[in-house]
Amino acid sequence: QEQLVESGGGTVQAGGSLRLSCAASEYTYSSVCMGWFRQAPGKGREGLATIDSDGDTRYAESVKGRFTISKDNAKNTLYLQMNSLKPDDTAMYYCAADSVRCHGVFFMILRQNGRVNYEGKGTQVTVSS
């Protein structure tokens, strides 16, 4: 059984919006931390946003003010609302969760190309100019 399943990717013009969804198993959704990261071809992993069990959020500087992370507890679903998209946002986007580590540590693990406890298979986002 897959723990995290992303959807909502696609192709959009620069300046447009997309909303990514991540359906989680009940067990995975109860993780301390859930978040999103992306990876473009030839580049490393980039943590984008995290949300902890208290609802506190953190964002990478590259997406702050444009992306919003949220959760729907009734649906065990994580979202990433992406506005004002740029061609540089083109990448595979992944949902992730960790039972212990969050925010700065979560981002650091991804920056070092490490893995957190649970990672989805990704959904492609392409932004055309």
The mean pLDDT value of the chain amounts to: 96
Query: What is the percent of the chain where pLDDT is above 70?
Result: 99
* Dihedral over alpha carbons 12, 13, 17, 21 (to 10 degrees): 20
CB 16 within 8 A of CB 127: yes
Mean pLDDT for 30-36 is 94
| Residue 25 predicted with pLDDT over 70 | yes
> Quick one: pLDDT at residue 20?
98
Mean pLDDT for 50-62 is 96
Q: 35 Cβ partners below 8 Å, 6+ apart? A: 47, 48, 49, 50, 51, 69, 95, 96, 97, 98, 102, 106, 116
CB 127 within 8 A of CB 86: yes
Q: 87 Cβ partners below 8 Å, 6+ apart? A: 14, 127, 128, 129
Give the span between the Cα atoms of 120 and 29, in whole angstroms.
13
> Quick one: pLDDT at residue 62?
96
**pLDDT-derived band at 96, boundaries 50, 70, 90:** very high
> Quick one: pLDDT at residue 123?
98
> Quick one: pLDDT at residue 2?
73
Mean pLDDT for 12-24 is 98
**In the block, residue with structure tokens 């061609």:** 87
